[in-house]
A and B are shown apart, each in its own frame.
Chain A
Amino acid sequence: MLSLYRLPGNIKDEKVLKIYRRDFFVLFKKVLFFLVLSILPALLFYWIAVNFDEFIFQGAISYSLSIIFTSSYYIFIWLFFFFSFIDYYLDVWIITNERIIDIQQKGFFSRIISEQRLYRIQDVTSEVHGFFPTVFKYGNVYVQTAGSKQRFFFNEIPNPENVRDTIIKLIERHKRIHNK
């Protein structure tokens, strides 16, 4: 398990300052999607009962098939929601006084952990783009580092401007301490 006291590639005297996940609204959208999926069988059965013979579910085969279909559907919907939640829950950005750690869970069999030391960071950009991100104040933060490596990417995190300010302040403090 991931412990805040034993981060990947632990550095001496390192302190965890902030932990970010995607904004809560992103999770809310997932919940809403699965709620819509969960009422679909009820609507389907209602539509069949209204448009076809009301005794259609009373036969031995049709009744057993409808029970099995409904049960399988809900059990798998619940499982997919759990998968979706894990995808949300295991994507984490950790800011420490020494570095930024990006942990991304891509499906079940791919996990990417990358880090950038604060002294390598050259530019931090925040972006809020779209109606819902503007209303609910979430967006992306791009961290550009020295070298040819790709930009670091905080995806759909709450208050991206504050995150950008935090990183910039940390970089300045880090430079002051190490330039003394």
Chain B
Amino acid sequence: MSFPLYYILILYLSFLIVWAVFSFVAFYHMLKYGFRNFTTFFIIIIYILISVFLLMLSFRYLGEIDWQVNVAIFDNIFNNDFPYQ
């Protein structure tokens, strides 16, 4: 059985969507319930900047991978060529 490597990338992207949704929920809480002051906005900006840095670093490394490669798994699971025969 084999599948293209980019299937793993789709899984990762779905992970990122969940992360983005939770991040928006966090922003909503900060903006709705936090004090209207510099600290609240500063914290949100710091969160966005570090998130962008982490994503850019991830995309840089992920960009080096050839995602069209086929991955073979369980290829020898029913292999009957036992070495002692």
| Partner-B contacts on A (CB < 8 A) | 1-4, 60-61, 63-65, 67-68, 70-72, 74-76, 78-79, 82-83, 85-86, 89-90, 92, 103, 105, 108, 111
Contacts and interface: CB of A to CB of B under 8 A. Distances in A.
Interface in B33-58: 33-36, 40, 43, 47, 50-51, 54-55, 57-58
A78 B35 contact: no
Nearest to A85: B43
A75 to B, nearest CB: 6
A8 B21 CA distance: 29
B35 A2 contact: yes
Contacts of A1: 31-36, 40
A89 B8 contact: no
Contacts, number: 88
Given A65-B8, A67-B62, A108-B25, 11 more contacts: A2-B34, A2-B36, A68-B9, A70-B58, A71-B62, A75-B51, A78-B51, A82-B26, A90-B29, A108-B29, A111-B33
B82 interface: no
A90 B54 contact: no
B61 A67 contact: yes
Contacts of A108: 25-26, 29
Which label, helix, strand, loop or mixed, suits the secondary structure of the A interface?
A: helix
> Taking chain B's interface residues, is the majority helix, strand, or loop, or is none over half, making it mixed?
helix
Contacts of B62: 64, 67-68, 71
Contact of B5 (A4, A60, A72, A85): A60
28 contacts: A1-B34, A60-B5, A60-B66, A64-B5, A65-B8, A67-B58, A67-B61, A67-B62, A67-B65, A68-B8, A71-B58, A71-B61, A72-B12, A75-B54, A76-B19, A78-B54, A82-B23, A82-B26, A83-B26, A85-B43, A86-B29, A89-B40, A89-B43, A90-B29, A90-B33, A105-B33, A108-B26, A108-B29
Contacts of A74: 54
Given A67-B65, A78-B54, A90 B34 contact: yes
A3 B32 CA distance: 10
Interface string B4-31: 0100110110011001001101100111
A71 B25 CA distance: 21
B16 to A, nearest CB: 7
